[in-house]
Amino acid sequence: MYPDPDMIVVGAGVVGLSAALALQARGLSVTVLDREGPAAGASAGNAGAFAFTDILPLASPGILRKAPMWLLDPLGPLSVPPAYALRIAPWMVRFWRACSPARVAQSTAAQTALMDLSRDELEPFLAATGTLAMLRRDGNLQVYDSDAEFRAALPGWQARADHGIDFHHLDRAGMDALQPGLAPRFVRGTFTPGWYSIADPRDYTLALADRLRARGGRIDRAQVTALAPTAEGVAVTLADGAPRRAARVVLAAGAHSHRIARSLGDRIPLETERGYNTTLPPDALDLRTQITFGGHGFVVTRLSTGIRVGGAVELGGLSLPPNFARAEAMLKKAQAFLPGLRPTGGVQWMGFRPSLPDSLPAIGPARATPRVTYAFGHGHLGLTQSAGTARLVADLVAGAPPAIDLTPFSPQRF
């Protein structure tokens, strides 16, 4: 038998492991519990970007304008499987309400604060965990099919400019100089040089797990079903009935977090953005920067392990079988948009991104006890916001004033 740790972190994805390492750095003993083990979910298959310039929430008037057209295409950037439409309706109503101009302004301010903190915390965190060599600074190129699409994006770029984010609008010649081989249909682009990425998100998350173990932490494969406050701390119930205890718990179980939170009286409207991708061999394309095809809802990213084509949003929950036709549709588009791309030899993937209707994560104490801290619901920004979230979690556990105002991220805001 092992002694009870100071902390149990539920979830061995990039957010959970980052928080666990930050807590270790504060001198606490940490055990991580995960139903599948490290890097088994969205932390393995994401696009590998630290998208600190992505300060605009997904819930916005722009998405409302595009959504009807996208939803008509079952393989398009946004889809809701018919079998799931009724179940997700309450979440969609909340999403629609979050798209009002006043709510968007509030969410943008909160997202910006978390992005700034995450950017400032990233390199010190990577250095402290021995992973700084995995950081890349290749930038991001957003491309547009038409001048009209480019003009429609300008208010979003102005919001970034107001925040001091560096970017450069490009004509076709500028795009060709930066990334040769784009199809002629793309007439304008915007390059963001301050867009960072990681060599491979799965390798990075596994490296964090190795560092946690090397510093004396434990990672156990176990499915947590419930949490309950006790006089001494928190009791953790596992699916096999085995009890676990700790002085405090951090719940960072991604798309499964809301089910566990119910045991503490919190009903949090978490849904899953089911993301798809195909990872091609490294020589599939001479890719020099990450490319975002925003009008089509996917990106093409250069990783150390291959060329990853993926993105889109399928709001389909945790139980429906994958629809890999979505990955195939994105790959077919990528081949048309980048004619030099060799589309063979790829590996398909589907994963669950935990998404809240206002595009902000839940970071803060549970309703039933301050001994449980929530850290989930980052949508497609889990990797991006992992170091900042880890700092906030460590501050909350230590009783220190958080580095930013956590009111917009309150788990009880719904």
pTM equals 0.94
What CATH class has 1-60+99-135+195-270+356-414? alpha beta
Mean pLDDT of the chain: 94
pLDDT at 72: 58
pLDDT at 226: 97
Per-residue pLDDT tens over the stretch 370-412 = 999 999 999 999 999 999 999 999 999 999 999 999 999 999 9
Query: Residue range 78-91: average pLDDT?
Result: 88
Quick one: what percent of the chain has pLDDT higher than 70?
98
Per-residue pLDDT tens over the stretch 106-135 = 999 999 999 999 999 999 999 999 999 999
pLDDT at 70: 67
pLDDT at 76: 75
**Structure confidence at residue 94 as a pLDDT band (50, 70, 90):** very high
pLDDT at 74: 72
pLDDT at 58: 81
Query: Residue range 208-215: average pLDDT?
Result: 98
Q: Is the pLDDT of residue 201 over 90?
A: yes
Per-residue pLDDT tens over the stretch 276-332 = 999 999 999 999 999 999 989 899 999 999 999 998 888 888 999 999 999 999 999
Strands 290-293 and 298-303, bridge-based pairing: antiparallel
Query: Residue range 223-242: average pLDDT?
Result: 95
**Structure confidence at residue 69 as a pLDDT band (50, 70, 90):** low
Q: Is the pLDDT of residue 61 over 60?
A: yes
pLDDT at 118: 98
The residue ranges of every structural domain in the chain are 1-60+99-135+195-270+356-414
Query: Residue range 156-160: average pLDDT?
Result: 92
- The more confident residue out of 317 and 70 is 317
Query: Residue range 81-103: average pLDDT?
Result: 90
Q: Is the pLDDT of residue 185 over 60?
A: yes
Q: Is the pLDDT of residue 1 over 60?
A: no
pLDDT at 85: 85
